[in-house]
Amino acid sequence: MIQLRNVYKQFGDRLAVEDLTLTVPAGEIYGLLGHNGAGKSTAISMMLGQVWPTSGMVRVCGHEVTSHRSQALIKVGAIFEAPAFYDYLSGARNLQILSSYTARTPRGRIQEVVEWVGLAGRENSKVKTYSHGMRARLALAQALLPHPELLILDEPGSGLDPEGIHEMRQTILRLHQQLGLTILLSSHLLHEVEQLCTRIAVLNQGRMVFEGDLSATRQRVQWVRLKVSDFSTAVTTLREARLISDHRDGCLVALSEGASSHQLVNLLVHTGISVHEVAHEQHSLENFYLELMGGKRAKN
């Protein structure tokens, strides 16, 4: 659905995106991760033909964006971090205006989408009277109006309260399941991405540092929380026995390949170190992300 090949984008002296190659297959919920300034929004802007790549190829829905932008975006809906509207006009008028840039939209379709996103009854109020959550729903409505096949969401949960984030998450899942949309979700809310996405790409300083299935992030190093009488002696002992490959935070150890927590406990008890607690650390995306970023920072 989306293909980027060796894409570079330079703003003055700053290289915002460097040699970015990624493919978003149809039917996926694809997460684009990275901290602020990592290049996520620039990458999305290039997919939408708002920012021109310095070099490389950007294809959306089978069309090259730089040369055939209009064809590429016909079946695309997008939502940005802070959706902007004409506050002095009604929600319905905003939808009418924004959808007209894709195609003429019948009133019935606008009403249908307004009801789908839960804005029925408020569509004729001026947007300046809308709450943040209602603006988010209006943003979703405008993205859905042209019957998209691909939805690009740039930080959609930003600024929403927990209830709003939950609602947005449920809506994204509904869109994926009921309408079969391909969704590209850019976020730095790792928990969100973990719950929604099937595949992710991680950007750091404009470069892609990981691309793969979300499950792959869980198959990496297994961390064990270890509470013992003397952590540093325990680490030395376990390293000598090659049972662990790393340690951090004064209580976490990374199991070596093939090692188990059972072996850890046995060795520590035999060495006379009291073991108070052993627990497998849940390997969340957050751990993976921090590991990845930590590793990159160390390299830099």
8: contact with another protein by CB under 8 A: no
Q: Does 158 bind another protein (CB under 8 A)?
A: no
Write the CA distances from 144 to 6, 15, 19, 105, 173, integer angstroms: 30, 33, 31, 11, 14
What is the contact mask toward another protein in residues 126 to 145, using x (rule: CB under 8 A)? ----------------x---
Contacting residue, 6, 55, 70, 129, with another protein by CB under 8 A: 70
Q: Which amino acid is at 173?
A: L
Q: Which of 78, 3, 4, 9 is nearest to 38 (CA)?
A: 9
Q: For tokens 């052993």, what's the residue?
A: 278
Q: Judged by CB under 8 A, does residue 72 bind another protein?
A: yes
Least distance to another protein, CB of residue 156, Å: 13
- Rounded to a whole number of angstroms, the minimum distance from the CB of residue 153 to another protein is 11
At 214, phi and psi to the nearest 5? Answer: -60, -35
Separation of alpha carbons 82 and 16, rounded Å: 21
Alpha carbons 211 and 100: distance in angstroms, whole number: 36
Q: Is the distance from CB of 257 to CB of 268 less than 8 angstroms?
A: no
Q: How far is CA 149 from CA 75, 114, 145, 167, 253, in A?
A: 5, 19, 11, 21, 45
49 lies in the binding site for another protein (CB under 8 A): yes
Residues composing the chain: 300
What is the closest distance, in whole angstroms, from the C-beta atom of residue 102 to another protein in the complex?
A: 5
- Of the candidate spans 44-52, 205-213, 237-245, 265-273, the one that interacts with another protein by CB under 8 A turns out to be 44-52
Task: Tell me which stretch binds another protein (CB under 8 A): 37-45, 203-211, 241-249, 269-277.
Answer: 37-45
Binding of residue 11 to another protein (CB under 8 A): yes
| Stretch of 64-72, 163-171, 201-209, 278-286 contacting another protein, by CB under 8 A | 64-72
Does the footprint of another protein cover residue 88 (CB under 8 A)? Answer: yes
Kindly tell me which residue out of 6, 25, 97, 115 binds another protein, with binding defined by CB under 8 A. 97
* Least Cβ distance, residue 186 to another protein (angstroms): 12
User: Binder to another protein among 78, 168, 181, 238 (CB under 8 A)?
Assistant: 78
- Of 47 and 160, nearer to another protein (C-beta) is 47
By CB under 8 A, is residue 232 in contact with another protein? no
Q: What is the CA radius of gyration of the chain?
A: 24
Of 194, 199, 222, 237, nearest to 279 by C-alpha is: 222
Indicate the SS3 state at residue 150.
strand
Residue of 8, 27, 57, 69 that binds another protein (CB under 8 A): 69
- CA dist 9 and 136 (Å) reads 29
Q: Which residues bind another protein (CB under 8 A)?
A: 11, 41-42, 45, 48-52, 69-74, 76-78, 80-86, 88-89, 93, 96-98, 100-104, 142, 146, 152
